Amino acid sequence: MKNLLRLPPLSSTRPTNLTVFPVISTFFATSATAVTEPEPPVDKEDFPSSPIIQEKDLLRKSFKFQSGLHVLDLIDAGSLEPTAAIYTQLLKKCTQLKRLNEGRLVHAHFLTSRFKDDLFFHNSIINLYSKCGSLEDARNAFDEMRVKDMVTWTALITGYSQNDRPKEALTLFPRMLRLGLKPNGFTFASLLKACGAATPGDESCEQIHAACIKYGCQSDVYVGSSLLDMYARHGKMDEACLVFDRLDSKNEVSWNALIAGYARKENGEIALKQFWEMQRSGFEATHFTYSSVFSACASIGALEQGKWVHAHMIKSGQKLTAFVGNTLLDMYAKSGSIKDARKVFERLDKRDIVSWNSMLTGCAQHGHGKETVCLFEEMRRLGVQPNHITFLCVLTACSHGGLVSEGRHYFELMKKYKLEPEVEHFVTIVDLLGRAGLLDQALEFINDMPIQPTAAVWGALLGACRMHKNAELGKFAAERVFELDPHDAGPHVLLYNIYASAGRWDDAAKVRRMMKESGVKKEPACSWVEIENLVHMFVANDDSHPQIKEIHRMWEKIDGKIKEAGYVPDTNHVLLYVDDQEREAKLQYHSEKVALAFALLNMPPGATIRIMKNIRMCGDCHSAIKHVSKVMGREIVVRDTNRFHHFSGGSCSCGDYW
């Protein structure tokens, strides 16, 4: 869909694939404001004895001291003349304060009053239950109403939409249309949110978009930002952009939805560009903006730009809330500056579970195993309840830090917190045992798992076999992975490397052939480095960079120096090249080496070089960069998919254990 405004109006061209809204095109004649449904076949006598009434006195007691109920007492005592508006006001208060039980009581009291058919009140009731998260109550209230208007339907749609039940929200829409009720901007804002949250297949972005146009709601700002957000959540950034460009009036929310869309799509650079564009257009960044932008910076490791945005936030006088603080912390951690991450963590007034988890993750990824464990113990001392992610962080830290007994201990500790280990936790334990060389124990652990092992579980064992050069077990693990997930290139490469380093080139070639036959493709390796607010990206064996000749000359120079210092190229890490000389040639142009040479050419002497990589670092690059850090006297930080490597003085923070 290139042009959004050219969507056909549904009344003239009836789409053939109307699944979600089969009757959308037949309802434009009537513009009913409220619809009375036929009386339900329920014995009226049932109503006064409904559970709500029976609970009344009980609830009353527990809320006696509460303010709103005092008003009900006054009504009961005859000293206050009730009006429908009084009840609605009371209910509004309960909704704001999320006092479900108090609201129930007002509801019950209201039903005994002479206003019991007031539509506004009943609509508010649906809103009360929805906002309190009690969708079943909202639905019951809705079902019991005989007179419903558009607001009634919208309130319930909103309830489902806000409580993460998009499917139900979407199915209500055609039913509403069928009754001749005309949706408005409120209705569409909620519907679009639901549509954005629906799984592909359940939703119908284009149809609901067409309906917005049909009912003249497309120029509403709320509808507009929901619309662009909906497209963004389905990964359709081109459409989202088009919607954004065509908005009659933009506001912070529309900008935020756009930026968040790019940030989620791992398109950090565009998200950042849009952020500065937003400033230029005169819009104030909000908490939403900053958290999206910081997570965008985190994903591409843009430390310098992240610092700029941080400064921008401080200048604008924004308070550091947990929500923004967490993304800021994560940005610093993921951009390689664990010290700054820690500073943000210390400075947070209120730390929630995400703050703790982010800090733990940061520590773990930087290889500070013991520190992670200490932090976790501090968290426990303070009585913060850990969750599944917390344990995943801690177990990962133990695994990366070689803390085997600690890892086992914390795995057992999950039970104490009434947390059932999920498959990810099992993966981490296999990784923990495997890394430590306890391959038999790892296998035994897998065999004893109470749940079905997934490809990731066997993959962890395979990785360990690669590390400890165990070809037989590696082959076995790889076969299990191939059965469960035949399309992942990673395990193929691992097995290839296992055979290659054992000198079993025939077997290696077989793996290679297998990959070719099944069409499994290795993700192209790339590295990037941020210099003066610009992110430079390098793909292996790609010559397109304008400075490429200088870069290669630089690497050759470095290569000579580190070889003098004892670096021996490890050609086992190259896939598919036959003769050794060629293998070494290819090895020189691994993207992290190119990025490093580029950074050495362009960064001031002494500055720390920070390189990001989209896959795990290879052993040869790891060894080469260790030598570079010594020979050139540089601090070099490399972030790969798993963790950080801080190179300095010829060694790495991972202790060659990664």
Chain positions 244 to 273 lying near DNA, rule: CB under 7 A, are: 251-254, 256-257, 260, 263-264
Question: Which CB, 298 or 375, lies closer to DNA?
Answer: 298
Question: Which CB, 225 or 571, lies closer to DNA?
Answer: 225
Smallest gap, in angstroms, from Cβ of residue 399 to DNA? Answer: 9
Site for DNA in 16-55 (CB under 7 A): none
Question: Which CB, 7 or 128, lies closer to DNA?
Answer: 128
461 counts as binding DNA under rule CB under 7 A = no
H-type alpha helices, 163-249: 166-178, 185-197, 205-214, 221-233, 237-246
Look up tokens 């003349």; give the residue. Answer: 81
**Residue positions counted in the chain:** 658
189 counts as binding DNA under rule CB under 7 A = yes
Smallest gap, in angstroms, from Cβ of residue 526 to DNA? Answer: 19
Rounded to a whole number, what is the largest CA-CA distance in the chain? 99
Segment contacting DNA (CB under 7 A): 9-17, 36-44, 392-400, 522-530? Answer: 392-400
Residue type, 385: Q
Residues 344 and 326: their CA atoms lie apart, in Å, by: 8
Distance of CA 526 to the CA centre of its chain: 23
Smallest gap, in angstroms, from Cβ of residue 145 to DNA? Answer: 11
Query: Which residue(s) pair with 32 in the sheet?
Result: 181
* Of the residues 134, 207, 218, 295, which one makes contact with DNA according to CB under 7 A: 295
Question: Which CB, 194 or 599, lies closer to DNA?
Answer: 194
* Of the residues 25, 361, 372, 588, which one makes contact with DNA according to CB under 7 A: 361
Residues 122 and 118: their CA atoms lie apart, in Å, by: 7
* Of the residues 75, 242, 384, 389, which one makes contact with DNA according to CB under 7 A: 389
Smallest gap, in angstroms, from Cβ of residue 406 to DNA? Answer: 16
**DSSP code string of 253-301:** HHHHHHHHHHHHTT-HHHHHHHHHHHHHTTPPP-HHHHHHHHHHHHHHT
Residues 318 and 312: their CA atoms lie apart, in Å, by: 9
Residues 503 and 510: their CA atoms lie apart, in Å, by: 13
Question: Which CB, 331 or 508, lies closer to DNA?
Answer: 331
Smallest gap, in angstroms, from Cβ of residue 47 to DNA? Answer: 22
Smallest gap, in angstroms, from Cβ of residue 633 to DNA? Answer: 32
456 counts as binding DNA under rule CB under 7 A = yes
Residues 303 and 611: their CA atoms lie apart, in Å, by: 11
* Of the residues 221, 471, 484, 535, which one makes contact with DNA according to CB under 7 A: 221
Smallest gap, in angstroms, from Cβ of residue 631 to DNA? Answer: 32
**DSSP code string of 115-174:** TTT-HHHHHHHHHHHHHTT-HHHHHHHHHH-SEEEHHHHHHHHHHHHHTT-HHHHHHHHH
Question: Which CB, 214 or 626, lies closer to DNA?
Answer: 214
220 counts as binding DNA under rule CB under 7 A = yes
Smallest gap, in angstroms, from Cβ of residue 379 to DNA? Answer: 12
Segment contacting DNA (CB under 7 A): 184-192, 485-493, 497-505, 611-619? Answer: 184-192
Question: Which CB, 327 or 602, lies closer to DNA?
Answer: 327
Smallest gap, in angstroms, from Cβ of residue 556 to DNA? Answer: 36
Segment contacting DNA (CB under 7 A): 198-206, 215-223, 269-277, 300-308? Answer: 215-223
On whether the CB atoms of residues 623 and 571 are closer than 8 A, the answer is no
Site for DNA in 591-650 (CB under 7 A): none
Residues 327 and 640: their CA atoms lie apart, in Å, by: 19
Q: What are phi and psi of 524, to 5 degrees?
A: -65, 130
Dihedral sign computed on CA atoms, order 588, 589, 590, 595: positive
* Of the residues 225, 274, 335, 588, which one makes contact with DNA according to CB under 7 A: 225
Smallest gap, in angstroms, from Cβ of residue 561 to DNA? Answer: 35
Smallest gap, in angstroms, from Cβ of residue 157 to DNA? Answer: 8
Question: Which CB, 465 or 574, lies closer to DNA?
Answer: 465
434 counts as binding DNA under rule CB under 7 A = no
Share in percent of the chain as helix, strand, coil (round to 5): 65, 5, 30
Task: For residue 390, give Cα distances in angstroms to 6, 421, 425, 450.
Answer: 49, 12, 11, 21
Instruction: Print the binding letters for residues 551-590 with DNA: x by CB under 7 A, - otherwise.
Output: ----------------------------------------
Smallest gap, in angstroms, from Cβ of residue 160 to DNA? Answer: 10
372 counts as binding DNA under rule CB under 7 A = no
Residues 185 and 222: their CA atoms lie apart, in Å, by: 7
Tokens describing residue 193: 């949110």
Question: Which CB, 124 or 591, lies closer to DNA?
Answer: 124
Terminal alpha carbon distance of the chain: 46
Look up tokens 């077989």; give the residue. Answer: 510
Instruction: Print the binding letters for residues 401-430 with DNA: x by CB under 7 A, - otherwise.
Output: -----------------------x--xx--
Question: Which CB, 154 or 497, lies closer to DNA?
Answer: 154
213 counts as binding DNA under rule CB under 7 A = no
Residues 595 and 249: their CA atoms lie apart, in Å, by: 43
- What is the three-class DSSP state of 611? strand
353 counts as binding DNA under rule CB under 7 A = yes
Q: Residues in contact with DNA, total (CB under 7 A)?
A: 75
**What residues contact 376, with CB distance under 8 A and at least 6 apart?**
360, 386, 390, 393, 394, 410
Q: What are phi and psi of 309, to 5 degrees?
A: -65, -40
Distance of CA 558 to the CA centre of its chain: 40
Instruction: Print the binding letters for residues 154-173 with DNA: x by CB under 7 A, - otherwise.
Output: xx--x--xx-----------
88 counts as binding DNA under rule CB under 7 A = yes
Tokens describing residue 440: 């038999």
Smallest gap, in angstroms, from Cβ of residue 572 to DNA? Answer: 24
Smallest gap, in angstroms, from Cβ of residue 115 to DNA? Answer: 14
Residues 341 and 332: their CA atoms lie apart, in Å, by: 5
Residues 626 and 631: their CA atoms lie apart, in Å, by: 9
313 counts as binding DNA under rule CB under 7 A = no
Smallest gap, in angstroms, from Cβ of residue 486 to DNA? Answer: 19
Query: For residue 334, what is the enclosing H or E element?
Result: helix 322-334
Site for DNA in 475-514 (CB under 7 A): none
Segment contacting DNA (CB under 7 A): 385-393, 404-412, 437-445, 581-589? Answer: 385-393
On whether the CB atoms of residues 575 and 512 are closer than 8 A, the answer is yes
Site for DNA in 98-157 (CB under 7 A): 119-120, 123-124, 127, 149-152, 154-155
Question: Which CB, 398 or 587, lies closer to DNA?
Answer: 398
Residues 272 and 259: their CA atoms lie apart, in Å, by: 8
Site for DNA in 318-337 (CB under 7 A): 321-324, 326-327, 330
Smallest gap, in angstroms, from Cβ of residue 359 to DNA? Answer: 10
